[in-house]
Chain A
Amino acid sequence: EQNKFASHFNFYPTKYLNEENKEKINLCQAINQALNIALEEDPNSVCFGEDVAFGGVFRCSVGLQNKFGKERVFNTPLCEQGIVGFGIGLAVTGSNAIAEIQFADYIFPAFDQIVNEAAKYRYRSGNQFNCGKLTIRATWGAVGHGALYHSQSPEAYFSHTPGLKIVIPRGPSQAKGLLLSCIADPDPCIFFEPKILYRNAVEDVPVGKYILPLGKAEIVREGKDVTLVGWGTQLHVLMETADLAEKDLGILCEVIDLQTIIPWDVETVAESVTKTGHLLISHEAPKTCGFGAEMAATIQKECFLNLEAPIERICGWDTPFPHYSNSYYTKGRT
């Protein structure tokens, strides 16, 4: 139990699915299935990035090149700015471009292409050109021992950029449905995959195609005393927190998975806070200017008369993500 590499959370599988036709898979397989469906459905769709051809360093693209050919699933040179720029060009001419950035930590060389180009393409051309068919997948979040450059959660940097959609799933069922939505969506999307869940998260996932709506939060657990909001891996930390709060303090928490960072679902969160009067937001990324700040400011305005206490943010410290004291950084059970 006290393994020093043990994860900081317990996975809470999604249980609401009633479909007959389902199978137990992990998040990595869910991504692979979504990519398979996208490539099958649209002959103009392509998957590319660093080391994608042999299956990817996290095995998300296993088998795709054999099935769809080297022209549609291929390696690029090691250059993130090139990968995203190339993807934009594909999307501008109508191809469904699914680009992979190996770690979200390495998306910054492509920041210019994402923020100045992809996000503004439709706007600046008066809707004559767009790159809506671009989806950028990147592995994301803490992994236990990833230190500074294999642990980052950069969603807040991108949330300050109109024109993008940013999506983060909490498990295999959401990963498959939300990734397929991103690929089909008419706007450029960044899809962050919590890499610690690739193998740890296993649950029943519907076979075949289905989509989950973007811009919609999900109430994962209903409660009346306090609203907890998070996304990705942190959602499972919040679920455990809710269990502990109920057991030790008799507090009933409402837990919300935000899922889409921008444009985010203000309505669902505000309705919940109107009911509970309390809000706690939690994310792995550093606190200052993290996305929690945006949420807190908005909810404070929307729910001023309903709030019974200051909005609390439980976030990463305002430091780089360290290797040696990882467990003090990803807190959350307290």
Chain B
Amino acid sequence: YLGNKKVMFTERLEFKTPKDCDAMPIYRCVDSNGNFLDENEEPKFTKEFAQKIYMEMTKLNTMDKILYESQRQGRISFYMTSYGEEASHLGSAAALEQRDLIYGQYRETGVLLWRGFSLDQCMNQCYGNKLDPGKGKQMPVHYGDAELNFVTISSPLTTQLPQAVGSAYSFKLSNPTKSSDQQRIKCPVIFFCRNNGYAISTPTSEQYSGDGIAGKGIGYGIHTIRVDGNDVFAVYNATKAARELALTNCPVLIEAMTYRLGHHSTSDDSSAYRSADEVKEWTELDLPILRYRKFLESKGWWNMEMDKQWLSKIKSEVLESFNKAEKVKKLPPDELFNDVYAEIPEALKKQKTELLNHLEKYGEKYPELENFEK
């Protein structure tokens, strides 16, 4: 019946219990001071590559701080930070090829930055101005870029998961391999789970009672690994190896263990459901950016002076980009009718005319119109 596995009979009445299986271990490469525990695990980054990872992590962190504050000031409507999860973004993004297609949830901005999504693009999207490639239709942080092979983010959770499998199958169809596995639907896909301990206010103890997400992978017949999500190298190595496996049409699951340091979003105050001590403990013990900087410093690739200069430079770049985006107008009001369908249906054209006539007559009741293109 199992198709993919051989199974024995037993004459003993015995239930397997969750305790019979140890929790899957967490793969790590460096300790909290950035020192390799096993030198063989070091992925031999070049200096430039290693620095770029750090610079994108800190760029993300700097942008998060400024955009979070700007939401507090009411200048953008919504924001979600990535505090504490920068290593999982950059470690995985750096291990992939630019042509690999990515589907995300919403807390993966570092992946886009690695691929070349500019600060301007981030700001334009958050402001929904006329330069936003998404044409101002979605809430802030719902980024997407076809040229960077990053599928546009949407709010409904996990809808992207079966879609990613479909896209992977499509790639498999256009690149036939000689593999003759019986499960023809098997696809070149990596599932990457950021396990940060919370889903808004809900701790993992209320999300599942098994061995996390990694514990489920084997049940689906998927190669699985659990990694230290605050360790760039562990994330990088696992993703690199997963990519190799995936290319043989073998799906892989990576569960990156991390901690959501920030609030869930700007609409959330996390002190309502977790203690300040808990957050403080993670901040003091294991900041992924700090851990990675210590590694760079041990290599002689980074120092205090460089850090100061870089952080000040990136901060002014973020602010400059932010101020620029704030001044850009939005698309005309009737843009809202475009892209519902490939072509606007007749009935919708009528509604568009209706809106335009309405605005012509009652435009003065809409003071915000001056922020929109005519």
Question: How long is the Cα–Cα vector from A120 to B144 in the complex, in angstroms?
Answer: 14
Given A85-B162, A90-B169, A267-B346, A117:B134 Cβ within 8 A: no
Given A124-B142, A125-B152, A263-B348, A89:B167 Cβ within 8 A: yes
B161 at the interface (CB under 8 A from A): yes
Question: How long is the Cα–Cα vector from A24 to B169 in the complex, in angstroms?
Answer: 37
B219 at the interface (CB under 8 A from A): no
A316 at the interface (CB under 8 A from B): no
Please tell me if the beta carbons of A95 and B173 are within 8 angstroms of each other in the complex: yes
Question: How long is the Cα–Cα vector from A130 to B137 in the complex, in angstroms?
Answer: 15
Question: How long is the Cα–Cα vector from A195 to B309 in the complex, in angstroms?
Answer: 70
Given A44-B174, A123-B340, A89:B165 Cβ within 8 A: yes
Question: How long is the Cα–Cα vector from A313 to B346 in the complex, in angstroms?
Answer: 25
B168 at the interface (CB under 8 A from A): yes
Secondary structure of the B contact surface, majority rule? loop
B373 to chain A, nearest CB (A): 15
| Per-position binary interface string of chain B over residues 148-189, scored 1 when its CB falls under 8 Å from any chain A CB and 0 otherwise | 000110101001011111111111111010000000110000
Please tell me if the beta carbons of B162 and A92 are within 8 angstroms of each other in the complex: no
Look across to chain A and name the residue whose beta carbon is closest to the beta carbon of B159.
A117
Please tell me if the beta carbons of B156 and A116 are within 8 angstroms of each other in the complex: yes
Please tell me if the beta carbons of A263 and B346 are within 8 angstroms of each other in the complex: yes
Chain A residues within an 8 Å CB radius of B341: 122, 163, 165, 186-187, 263
| Per-position binary interface string of chain B over residues 117-143, scored 1 when its CB falls under 8 Å from any chain A CB and 0 otherwise | 000000000000000111101100010
B157 to chain A, nearest CB (A): 10
B211 to chain A, nearest CB (A): 23
Please tell me if the beta carbons of B184 and A71 are within 8 angstroms of each other in the complex: yes
Chain B residues within an 8 Å CB radius of A129: 144, 146, 151-152
B342 at the interface (CB under 8 A from A): yes
Given A124-B154, A125-B134, A90:B166 Cβ within 8 A: yes
Which parts of B311-366 form the interface with A (CB within 8 Å)?
A: 338-343, 345-348
Please tell me if the beta carbons of B162 and A113 are within 8 angstroms of each other in the complex: yes
Among A46, A91, A94, A125, which residue has its beta carbon within 8 angstroms of that of B144?
A125
Among B133, B163, B345, which residue has its beta carbon within 8 angstroms of that of A126?
B133
Look across to chain A and name the residue whose beta carbon is closest to the beta carbon of B176.
A71
Given A89-B162, A89-B165, A117:B156 Cβ within 8 A: yes
B145 at the interface (CB under 8 A from A): yes
Chain B residues within an 8 Å CB radius of A93: 101, 166-167, 170-171
Please tell me if the beta carbons of A74 and B133 are within 8 angstroms of each other in the complex: no
A266 at the interface (CB under 8 A from B): yes
Please tell me if the beta carbons of B156 and A89 are within 8 angstroms of each other in the complex: no
Given A112-B156, A125-B134, A129-B151, A85:B348 Cβ within 8 A: no
Secondary structure of the A contact surface, majority rule? mixed
B108 to chain A, nearest CB (A): 16
Give the number of chain B interface residues (Cβ < 8 Å).
43
Please tell me if the beta carbons of B345 and A263 are within 8 angstroms of each other in the complex: yes
Give the number of chain A interface residues (Cβ < 8 Å).
48
Chain A residues within an 8 Å CB radius of B174: 44
Look across to chain B and name the residue whose beta carbon is closest to the beta carbon of A115.
B156
Given A85-B161, A126-B137, A263-B346, A74:B166 Cβ within 8 A: no
Which parts of A59-95 form the interface with B (CB within 8 Å)?
A: 70-72, 74, 76, 81-82, 84-95
Please tell me if the beta carbons of A85 and B163 are within 8 angstroms of each other in the complex: yes
Given A44-B174, A82-B162, A263-B345, A128:B133 Cβ within 8 A: yes
A112 to chain B, nearest CB (A): 6
A134 to chain B, nearest CB (A): 9
Among B151, B170, B342, B346, which residue has its beta carbon within 8 angstroms of that of A90?
B170
Please tell me if the beta carbons of A126 and B132 are within 8 angstroms of each other in the complex: yes
Among B142, B154, B185, which residue has its beta carbon within 8 angstroms of that of A117?
B154
Which parts of A113-145 form the interface with B (CB within 8 Å)?
A: 113, 116-117, 120-130, 132
Among A46, A82, A84, A124, which residue has its beta carbon within 8 angstroms of that of B138?
A124
A59 to chain B, nearest CB (A): 22
Question: How long is the Cα–Cα vector from A114 to B77 in the complex, in angstroms?
Answer: 27
Please tell me if the beta carbons of B173 and A94 are within 8 angstroms of each other in the complex: no
A162 at the interface (CB under 8 A from B): yes
A110 to chain B, nearest CB (A): 10
Chain A residues within an 8 Å CB radius of B168: 89
Chain A residues within an 8 Å CB radius of B152: 121, 124-126, 128-129
Give the interface centre of A128, A162, A187 by most chain B CB atoms within 10 Å: A128
Given A92-B151, A128-B145, A97:B184 Cβ within 8 A: no
Residues on A lying within 8 angstroms of B by beta carbon are 44, 46, 70-72, 74, 76, 81-82, 84-95, 97, 112-113, 116-117, 120-130, 132, 162-163, 165, 186-187, 215, 263-264, 266-267
Other A-B contacts than A85-B162, A128-B134, A267-B346, 13 sampled, CB-CB below 8 A, are A71-B172, A88-B163, A89-B162, A92-B166, A95-B169, A122-B339, A122-B340, A126-B132, A126-B133, A129-B146, A162-B340, A266-B346, A266-B347
Q: List 23 A-B contacts (CB under 8 A).
A: A46-B173, A70-B184, A71-B172, A86-B162, A89-B162, A89-B163, A89-B164, A89-B169, A90-B170, A95-B170, A123-B137, A124-B138, A124-B142, A125-B133, A126-B135, A129-B146, A129-B151, A129-B152, A132-B342, A165-B341, A187-B342, A263-B345, A263-B346
For the complex of A and B, 10 pairs with smallest distance between CB atoms: A89-B166, A85-B162, A89-B163, A263-B345, A125-B152, A126-B135, A186-B342, A86-B166, A93-B170, A89-B167
